[in-house]
Amino acid sequence: MLTYHDRQLHLNGHALAPLAYGVATPFYVYSLDAVLQRARAFQQAFPRAWLAFALKANRHLPLLRALAAAGLGADVVSLGEWRAALAAGFPPARIVVNGNAKSDALLRAAIAAGVASINLDAAEELPRVVDAARAVGRRAAVAVRVNPGLDVHTHPHLQVAARGSHFGVPLTRLVEVAQTIARTPELAWQGIHLHPGSQLLQPEDWHAWGRAARAAITRLRAAGLPVPQVNWGGGLGITYTEEPDPTPADLAAVLLPYVADLGVERHIFEPGRYLVARAGVLVVRVVQVKRAWGRRFVAVDGGMNALLRPALYGARHRVWPVVQGEPNGPATVVGPNCESADVLARDVPLPEDLGPGDLLAVLDAGAYGATMANGYNARPLPAELLV
């Protein structure tokens, strides 16, 4: 996807340098072909499932329109994401609503439009969903987000189904909450939502995910409740290195046998990162190169304001020069913000003659990049381009 031709870095055949002539740096560039290729791989691996793209990962409207046209649904967690999903053309019947603090306005809008599912995050949320359904005069489709207490191998900030997490209904209360939904006239019972966490790469975590789903379904069926739907959430990660990523086919081979005999009619997945991370690049411009403390610091015009992940999670991103050169020395790439945390990458190989005005590409930045961008130090948000 990213290759050099005549020393110029190209994203799926499009040279990056000319894009910087008419767009101020920093800016994001996404490859639509790369996103759709991964979406097709997911659909092939799970032919009985439908995909609800997680807008939290990327909400660039032209990209969303393309995903909606390709038949995907959407996963939203706010009224703003709901409106973006509708503007992109996702039908309400293919949208799921998540989140632990859904606004009343979001609940009313989604239920009135006939959303696919409100994924209940807590027993305490039930009265608000019922009130919203009554207010709009329409029955609400509701699933329960289960928290089975999984300790998966990912950053602590990305563990959302662990013991003590503020997300989801504990497994011990699942049957009680599901029975309440099933006997409430304003609600239509859908099944379970089980999102274990983000950036999962290890098959042992996938097995734990499958076992948790089986345990939840078995409890519900023992209580006489059918489980027509399992929403698996997202979770499949990427390596952020040259190493190959796990594939949806790998995930399917692990997950599906756990529920194959339990009569689940519908499967939903909410991929975000896996579809868009590799497809996106953040382009920044070198402001100055400083040598101090025996190190080389390359200061660029976009840092934690444009890409928060390194500061927030300690995430590592590769950095390549837009014009190819001999990578004969390590450098620390730092942003322009007044924080010691404003470091995009440490000890990355960059050309020795790199200087002011040169362009760098921060790789694998298509997920949780622009959606987390901020106005710190009164800096403008980065532009986004789709090629």
Active site positions, annotated = 338
Give the whole-angstrom CA distance, residue 356 versus residue 28.
20
CA atoms within 13 A on the CB side of 23: 20
Count Cβ atoms within 10 A of the Cβ of residue 334 and give its class: 0-12 exposed, 13-18 middle, 19 or more buried: buried
Evaluate whether 191 touches 174 at the Cβ level (below 8 Å): no
Token pair in block for residue 247: 């594939």
Kindly write down the DSSP assignment for every residue of 327-380, as one continuous string: --EEEEEE-SSS-TT-EEEEEEEE-TT--TT-EEEE-S-SSSSGGG---GGGPP
Instruction: Please state the length of the chain.
Output: 387
Give the whole-angstrom CA distance, residue 284 versus residue 28.
9
| b/e per residue 139-151 (b: at least 16 CB within 10 A) | ebbbbbbbbbebe
List of residues 6+ apart from 131 with CB closer than 8 A: 104
Instruction: List, in sequence order, the alpha helices (H) in 46-90.
Output: 61-69, 79-88
Q: Closest Cα partner for 67 from 89, 45, 100, 99? A: 89
